[in-house]
């Protein structure tokens, strides 16, 4: 099986601060892969580098067989890699429908775009009910749903989600997690960054634990969920 995404010895620094210190991992098509780890481990930096927002110092990224080195962010979206960023980054003054349309900025197939907007409303009915409302009036969890819906509008092969459960109530979090499982079932490959290790590992095929810029442990979601060191460090057990 060839991987959809291959990351090899990736290093990323902010000036002298090395945030990612040479990580390697792959994402196979059809899988959910999660990166977990505490604040500052380098997870967000990794996603921002994959989507072309940060330039790596060294290393290799292959997406769908193509090197991403030097490819600008909008072309990376066009290749099929979408990013739902941390902190949501929706456009608060635009309506929900307009935010979704912006996610399709590279597409010209009007009927297909309409169909996918409808799909976002089916996934998250609240977005459909409020479609004409300014997105800034949505709750944090609803904005998170909109960010995911918007990322899906580019019909990505790989959807990267940065902390989709951040600040959500347990019920909202359940909803987001079950949506991630539904997306996988419908054929979307997912790279999920989460601080909620329990939730992320429960649904991931593969997981990697990051600590201060390195991957320190890798395994299937289930293996990591039952790993003693993971349970102590990330699942709050002693």
What residues make contact with ligand ATP under the rule CB under 6 A?
14, 17, 19, 37, 39-45, 195
What's the CA gap between 131 and 16, in Å, rounded?
45
Instruction: Tell me the closest approach of the beta carbon of residue 15 to ligand ATP, in angstroms.
Output: 7
Residue whose CB is less far from ligand ATP, 78 or 166:
166
Instruction: Tell me the closest approach of the beta carbon of residue 119 to ligand ATP, in angstroms.
Output: 29
What's the CA gap between 199 and 165, in Å, rounded?
9
Residue whose CB is less far from ligand ATP, 43 or 150:
43
Q: Is the Cβ–Cβ distance between 54 and 48 less than 8 Å?
A: yes
Instruction: Tell me the closest approach of the beta carbon of residue 195 to ligand ATP, in angstroms.
Output: 6
Residue whose CB is less far from ligand ATP, 43 or 175:
43
Residue whose CB is less far from ligand ATP, 97 or 180:
180
CA distances from 31 to 14, 172, 203 (A): 30, 23, 10
Instruction: Tell me the closest approach of the beta carbon of residue 74 to ligand ATP, in angstroms.
Output: 21
Instruction: Tell me the closest approach of the beta carbon of residue 19 to ligand ATP, in angstroms.
Output: 3
What's the CA gap between 94 and 138, in Å, rounded?
12
Residue whose CB is less far from ligand ATP, 45 or 84:
45
Closest listed residue to residue 116, CA positions, set 137, 101, 96: 101
Strand partners, 26: 6
Pair of tokens at residue 8: 């090899």
């Amino acid at each position: 099986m060839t991987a959809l995404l291959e990351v090899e010895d990736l290093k990323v620094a902010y000036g002298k601060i090395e945030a990612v210190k040479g990580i390697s991992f792959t994402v196979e098509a059809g899988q959910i892969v999660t990166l977990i780890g505490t604040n500052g481990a380098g997870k967000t930096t990794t996603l921002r580098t994959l989507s072309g927002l940060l330039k790596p110092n060294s290393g290799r990224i292959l997406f769908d067989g193509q090197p991403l080195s030097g490819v600008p962010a909008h072309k990376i979206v066009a290749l099929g890699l979408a990013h739902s960023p941390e902190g949501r980054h929706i456009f608060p003054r635009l309506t929900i429908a307009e935010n979704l349309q912006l996610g399709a900025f590279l597409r010209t197939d009007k009927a297909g775009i309409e169909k996918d907007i409808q799909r976002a409303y089916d996934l998250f009915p609240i977005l459909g009910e409020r479609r004409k409302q300014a997105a800034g009036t949505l709750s944090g969890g609803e904005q998170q749903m909109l960010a995911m819906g918007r990322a899906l509008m580019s019909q990505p092969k790989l959807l990267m989600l940065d902390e989709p459960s951040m600040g959500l109530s347990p019920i909202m979090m359940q909803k987001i997690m079950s949506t991630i499982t539904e997306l996988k079932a419908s054929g979307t490959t997912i790279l999920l960054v989460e601080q909620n290790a329990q939730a992320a590992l429960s649904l991931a095929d593969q997981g990697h634990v990051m600590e201060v810029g390195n991957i320190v442990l890798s395994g299937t979601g289930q293996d990591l969920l039952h790993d003693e060191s993971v349970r102590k460090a990330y699942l709050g057990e002693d």
